[in-house]
């Protein structure tokens, strides 16, 4: 009887221990949920007005080539360029400023000036070559480059003009070399949320925006496996993606965050809450991105698990706390596209650089 009682008491004590009377058991591998980071999906929509052709007619600028002729006098036919000062020269006329004028306004201006020497001249002005307006089409396109823009074109027309997106020439596979989910259109320094994948793979014409002069279109390589670290880090750059790459590892690869010492000058290192408590991670398509705001300082101090990264992630360290998620996302994406555009523009002009341009940015 006593033996049975002792056995029951032993089972009871073991049960209490098993239910946590002595605290939770140590598990060397944290559960999968501890490694999951909550990403918020943000839907960007293309404004309907971006699909409409511009109502403003073509205006002249430096580099444009014109053919001018007085009607009925073929011997007066001549070609002239709009000079760097925006002026043209025709026969014995003094320099005529045509910068910003339409062809019709230029024609009337020429008739007015020629009327001082010729009775009621009728002038014909023909645009022969555009040098003042162009669009950038770079990246994994068959014929990337700077293209003159004589008339409005759609994004789809422009990509066709550049020969379409590049594909592998291997006889074994015809793999698409273009990463359409990270392709972007930048206008006047701002990202336009055009979904290249929906346009080129799904035929969604709601993404076929009209391009404007100086628009920058970039299609990255699908073969590039990189993570981008931007913002207030010592060395903003693209890092080669490796399996099991984490947020802290990426920050270390960019030489750490920049922290401000109010008593002296800027210094580098990890550990300032104002910089690292609102690190942004943008993942997925630039047109339909997901964003997470992570307390990297807590990770560094061991209070939170590190965040596994994926190829294509954009890491951003702000210089002030985040207040509005959508504006923070726009800041990160605009910083990314501006940096890539600057680098690719330098490369297209004959220079060499990588994603490593430090821009004056801050979290809002």
Residue 4 pLDDT more than 50? no
CA-based torsion, 321, 327, 333, 335: positive or negative: negative
Please give the CATH number for the structural domain made up of 133-219. Answer: 3.10.560.10
User: Closest by alpha carbon to 345, among 142, 141, 143, 146?
Assistant: 146
User: Closest by alpha carbon to 257, among 240, 273, 241?
Assistant: 273
Total residues found in the chain within this entry: 364
Q: Residue 129: CA atoms inside 13 Å, Cβ hemisphere, count?
A: 9
pTM as predicted = 0.76
108-140 pLDDT, tens digit per residue, is 999 999 999 889 999 999 999 999 999 999 999
User: Closest by alpha carbon to 327, among 204, 211, 190, 228?
Assistant: 190
CA distances from 98 to 83, 87, 241 (A): 10, 6, 52
pLDDT attached to residue 308 = 94
152-183 pLDDT, tens digit per residue, is 899 999 999 999 998 765 544 455 789 999 99
CB 281 within 8 A of CB 292: yes
Alpha-helical regions (H) of 179-260? 196-201, 247-253
User: Closest by alpha carbon to 196, among 282, 188, 228, 204?
Assistant: 204
Fold adopted by 65-129:
wza like fold (3.30.1950)
Q: Could you tell me which residue, 264 or 206, shows the higher pLDDT?
A: 206
pLDDT attached to residue 273 = 39
Distance CA 256, CA 317 (A): 10
In a 3-state reduction of DSSP, which class is residue 178? strand
In a 3-state reduction of DSSP, which class is residue 341? helix
Distance CA 307, CA 34 (A): 9
Residue 288 pLDDT more than 70? yes
240-286 pLDDT, tens digit per residue, is 999 889 999 999 998 877 664 444 444 444 444 346 888 999 999 99
CB 148 within 8 A of CB 250: no
Any idea where the domains of the chain sit in the sequence? 65-129, 133-219, 225-348
We find that the CATH architecture of domain 225-348 is Roll (3.10)
51-94 pLDDT, tens digit per residue, is 888 888 899 999 999 999 999 999 999 999 999 999 999 988 99
pLDDT attached to residue 19 = 38
User: Closest by alpha carbon to 159, among 222, 130, 201?
Assistant: 201
Distance CA 44, CA 326 (A): 10
Alpha-helical regions (H) of 152-308? 155-161, 196-201, 247-253, 273-276, 296-300
Q: Do domains 133-219 and 225-348 have the same CATH topology?
A: yes
User: Closest by alpha carbon to 70, among 113, 130, 128?
Assistant: 113
Q: What share of the chain is helix, strand, coil (3-state, %, to 5)?
A: 25, 25, 50
Q: Residue 91: CA atoms inside 13 Å, Cβ hemisphere, count?
A: 13
């Amino acid at each position: 009887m006593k033996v049975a009682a002792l056995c029951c008491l032993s089972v009871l004590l073991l049960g209490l221990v098993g239910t946590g009377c002595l605290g939770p058991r140590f598990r060397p591998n944290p559960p999968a949920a501890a490694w999951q980071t909550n990403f918020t999906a943000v839907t960007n929509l293309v404004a309907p007005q971006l699909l409409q052709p511009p109502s403003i007619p073509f205006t002249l600028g430096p580099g444009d080539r014109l053919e001018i002729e007085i009607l009925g006098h073929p011997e007066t036919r001549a070609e002239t360029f709009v000079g760097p000062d925006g002026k043209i020269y025709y026969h014995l006329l003094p320099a005529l400023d045509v910068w910003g004028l339409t062809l019709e306004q230029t024609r009337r201006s020429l008739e007015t000036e020629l009327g001082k020497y010729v009775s009621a001249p009728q002038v014909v002005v023909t645009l022969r070559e555009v040098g003042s307006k162009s669009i950038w089409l770079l990246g994994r396109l068959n014929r990337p480059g700077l293209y003159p823009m004589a008339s409005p074109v759609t994004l789809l027309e422009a990509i066709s003009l550049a020969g379409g997106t590049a594909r592998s020439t291997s006889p074994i596979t015809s793999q698409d070399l273009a990463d359409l989910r990270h392709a972007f259109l930048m206008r006047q320094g701002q990202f336009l949320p055009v979904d290249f994948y929906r346009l080129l793979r799904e035929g969604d014409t709601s993404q076929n925006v009209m391009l404007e002069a100086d628009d920058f279109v970039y299609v990255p390589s699908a073969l590039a496996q990189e993570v981008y670290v931007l913002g207030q880090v010592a060395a903003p750059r693209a890092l080669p993606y490796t399996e099991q790459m984490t947020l802290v590892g990426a920050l270390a690869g960019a030489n750490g965050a920049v922290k401000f010492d109010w008593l002296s000058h800027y210094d580098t290192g990890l550990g300032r809450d104002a910089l690292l408590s609102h690190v942004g991670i943008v993942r997925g398509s630039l047109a339909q991105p997901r964003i997470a705001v992570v307390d990297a300082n807590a990770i560094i101090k061991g209070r939170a698990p590190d965040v596994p990264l994926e190829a294509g992630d954009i890491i951003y360290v702000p210089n002030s706390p985040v207040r509005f998620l959508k504006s923070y996302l726009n800041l990160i994406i605009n910083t990314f596209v501006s940096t890539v555009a600057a680098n690719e523009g330098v490369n297209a002009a004959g220079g060499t650089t990588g994603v490593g341009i430090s821009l004056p940015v801050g979290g809002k």
